[in-house]
Amino acid sequence: MERRIPVWLAIAAASLPMFMATLDNLVVTSALPAVHADLGASVEELQWITNAYTLAFAALMLLAVGLGDRLGRRHLFVAGITVFTVSSAFAAMSTDPTSLIVWRAIEGAGAAAIMPLSLTLLVGSVPDRLRTVGIGVWGGISGLGVALGPLIGGAVVEGWSWEAIFWLNVPVGIVAVPLALFALPNTRGARVRADVVGVLLAGLGVLGVVFGVVRGNDAGWTSGEVLTGLIGGGVLLVAFVLWQARTTAPLLPLRFFRDRSFALANIVAMTFSFGAFGAVFILIQFLQVVQGRTPLEAGVWTMPWTLAPMVIAPLAGIIAPRVGTRVLITGGMVFLSAGLFWIAGTMAADVTFPTLLPGFLLAGVGMGAVFGPISTAVLARMPQHDHAKASGANSTLREIGVALGIAVLTAVFTGNGGQLTPTGYVDAAQPAVMVGAAVVAVSAIVAAFLPAGRSAHVPETVTDDGLEAQLAAASPAPVA
């Protein structure tokens, strides 16, 4: 006799690890000044503490989906939780920046297995009549993890220590593993050959480019190590494109880019993450280093920005079929750009919260208007059987945008003499945030060339091939 699992238990089993993984994307930003003070981490090392997680996640997510289809989704999901939990414990015990960076990368590898498989397992565990409710709860928890990251991180760092943000993951992981084994089925998908060569070429290529950008100011833009990173990374990325054109089971089928909606939406998504998360990296440290705010105060100050998408994203999803995704995406990018320009223009050592508030609200409203519609635009003209891979590609490119945004904006910051000291921080931070705002503004122009995207059609059923589409649309924020 088949055992019945309560729906709420299946939702908890799939959502709890996902919340843990999404929370760790921004929770670390509040701890960076404390890590700098305790471990003596440089600006460059602080970037890698953030980007190691992001790059590992981006590089391995599509591979994790394929391995889950072959080996069993629950098996890989539980393995991801285990890796994430163990690496969190070692990250908490790190005594130098290098070991923290290494464990953050391993943590990102675990998150790469958690995030894309959580929704797939959830949908396979609930009855059809409750599927929409389950996906909605899952999406809300995902968005909450991102929105509360700076706030929870600030509270934990201020109340305990920076190590505690990693220790919190351990009891959650200990509970999540048996819960997943009990409540979730071990489903499988199409047994397609994993494109390991593609993963290596793309991952190492992006790593090389980011390394070159990060090291440019310190080592010199014409130095051997920087040129090796930039040129070598570029060559590997070209090799990745050539490999995708000839392999029989590509990680990212190039035919996707023949579709204007997919191609332009991914450009917008990548630059969106570039500007928004690069600016957050600079801003959180400004509030603590220059203004002397506690980590918790910095998290509270940024709440209008991080929480606004929780309200705006659902509204955007409701009106998108009527006004079209192009209007929402273009308008959202304009709002985000205006918010970043406002923040850069008003940033000063003695700036007050009411002065920054309009910028926070503009950025938050802009992000909320983009999250759902951009995922819809990516999949608008994709056949159903391509939805999983297309949505996974979109999530991957958004994560790459996060890494590049942090690297480039910090390079602008350090290139203008910026250091983690109150003196001179503002003069260096303003042009950095301005660059992020300008990139988002140009992206708004690109968004204007998207198809209108007006549609009232809503599919009645969701197949395994369409689950990643639901994943991207349900989650109101990119996973970092």
Global pTM reads 0.80
d(CA 340, CA 447): 18
Answer whether 141's CB lies under 8 Å from 19's CB. Answer: yes
Q: Provide the domain limits for residue 230.
A: 196-248
| Cα–Cα distance for residue pair 31/22, rounded to 1 Å | 16
SS3 per-residue string spanning 164-199? HHHHCHHHHHHHHHHHHHHHCCCCCCCCCCCCHHHH
Q: Residue 461 burial (CB < 10 Å; 0-12/13-18/19+)?
A: exposed
Confidence check: pLDDT of 468 > 90? no
Is the residue at 314 inside a domain? Answer: yes
* Mean pLDDT on 76-94: 94
What gap in Å lies between CA 197 and CA 262, rounded to an integer? 24
**Among 147, 212, 121, CA closest to 471:** 121
Position 29, amino acid: T
82-87 mean pLDDT: 95
Per-residue pLDDT, 136: 62
Question: Tens of pLDDT along 1-17?
Answer: 455 777 778 888 888 88
Torsion angle, CA of 2/459/132/381, rounded to 10 degrees? 110
pLDDT for the residue 358: 95
Alpha-carbon span 345 to 406, nearest angstrom: 19
Encode pLDDT of 370-408 as tens digits.
877 887 788 778 777 777 677 778 778 888 888 888 888
3-state per-residue secondary structure call for 32-63: HHHHHHHHCCCHHHHHHHHHHHHHHHHHHHHH
Show the tokens assigned to 227.
């040129």
Mean pLDDT computed over every residue of the chain? 82
Residues 356 and 376 in one domain: yes
Kindly state whether residues 297 and 382 are assigned to the same domain: yes
Go through the chain and tell me how many residues it has: 480
Task: Please write the tens of the pLDDT for every residue from 221-249.
Answer: 888 888 999 999 999 999 999 998 888 88
Q: Is the pLDDT of residue 127 over 60?
A: yes
**Predicted pLDDT at 133:** 66
pLDDT tens profile 51-64 = 888 888 888 887 88
* Better pLDDT: 90 or 314: 90
- Out of 233, 248, 263, pick the residue that ends a domain: 248
Confirm whether 233 is domain-assigned: yes
Q: Are 187 and 73 in contact (CB under 8 A)?
A: yes
Residues ≥6 apart with Cβ < 8 Å to 218: 44, 414
User: What is the pLDDT, as a whole number, of residue 143?
Assistant: 66
404, 418 in Cβ contact below 8 A?
A: no
**pLDDT score at 132:** 62
Identify whether residues 257 and 232 lie together within a single domain: no
Domain edge (last residue) among 212, 230, 248: 248
pLDDT (average), residues 149-166: 82
Q: Which two tokens stand for residue 292?
A: 């002397």
CB atoms within 10 A of CB 318: 9
Which of 186, 220, 248 marks a domain boundary?
248
List the end-to-end C-alpha distance of the chain, in Å, as a whole number: 41
Q: Same domain for 167 and 233?
A: no
1 occurs within a structural domain: no
Structure tokens at 209: 């480019």
In a domain, 26, yes or no: yes
What is the SS3 assignment for 350?
coil
With CA atoms as reference, report the closest residue to 437 among 270, 275, 306: 275
Are 340 and 462 in a shared domain?
A: yes
Regarding whether 216 and 345 lie in a shared domain, the answer is no
CATH code of residue 255 = 1.20.1250.20
In order, the DSSP letters of 90-148 are HHHT--SHHHHHHHHHHHHHHHHHHHHHHHHHHHTTS-GGGHHHHHHHHHHHHHHHHHT
CA angle, residues 142, 441, 206, in degrees to nearest 5: 60
Helix and strand numbers (H, E) in the chain are 19, 0
289-344 per-position pLDDT tens digit: 888 888 888 888 888 887 887 788 778 877 878 888 899 999 999 999 999 999 99
What's residue 135's pLDDT? Answer: 65
Residue 397 within a domain: yes
pLDDT given for residue 466 in this prediction: 47
Residues with Cβ within 8 Å of 460's Cβ and at least 6 positions away in sequence, in order, are none
The answer to the question of residue 480 being in a domain is no
pLDDT of 465 above 50: no
How much is the average pLDDT of 402-420? 86
Residue 469 in this model has a pLDDT that exceeds 60: no
To 5 degrees, how large is the angle CA 65–CA 196–CA 198? 95
User: 18 in the Ramachandran plot: left (φ > 0), alpha (ψ -120 to 50) or beta?
Assistant: alpha
Q: Residue with structure tokens 């390991």?
A: 196
CA distance 225 to 362: 40
Q: Are residues 231 and 177 in the same domain?
A: no
Over range 120-126, report the average pLDDT.
74
pLDDT tier, 416 (very low <50, low <70, confident <90, very high otherwise): confident
Phi, psi (degrees; rounded to nearest 5) at 306: -75, -30
Instruction: Looking at the structure, tell me whether residues 296 and 333 fall in a common domain.
Output: yes
The separation between CA 118 and the C-alpha centre of its own chain, rounded to angstroms, equals 16
Does the residue 67 lie in any domain? yes
What pLDDT was estimated at residue 342?
A: 96
How many other CB atoms are there within 10 angstroms of residue 111's CB atom?
31
pLDDT of amino acid 438: 95
For residues 299 and 204, the model is more confident at 204
The conformation of residue 461, written as its DSSP 8-state character, comes to: -
Residue 436 contacts residue 340 (beta carbons within 8 Å): yes
Instruction: Calculate what percentage of the chain has a pLDDT beyond 90.
Output: 26
The one-character DSSP state at 3 is P
19 plus 71 within the same structural domain: yes
Q: Tell me, yes or no, whether 426 lies in a domain.
A: yes
CB of 435 closer than 8 Å to CB of 279: no
Going by pLDDT thresholds of 50, 70 and 90, the confidence category of residue 445 is very high
- Torsion sign over Cα 456, 448, 401, 338: negative
Q: Is 61 found in the same domain as 33? A: yes
Task: Give the per-residue pLDDT at 93.
Answer: 93
pLDDT the model gives residue 107: 93
Lowest average pLDDT, out of 118-132, 153-167, 336-350, goes to: 118-132
- The verdict on 236 and 256 lying in the same domain is no
High-pLDDT (> 70) share of the chain, %? 88
Q: Are 212 and 299 contained in the same domain?
A: no
| Residue 68 near residue 76, CB atoms below 8 Å | yes
Q: How many domains does the chain have?
A: 2
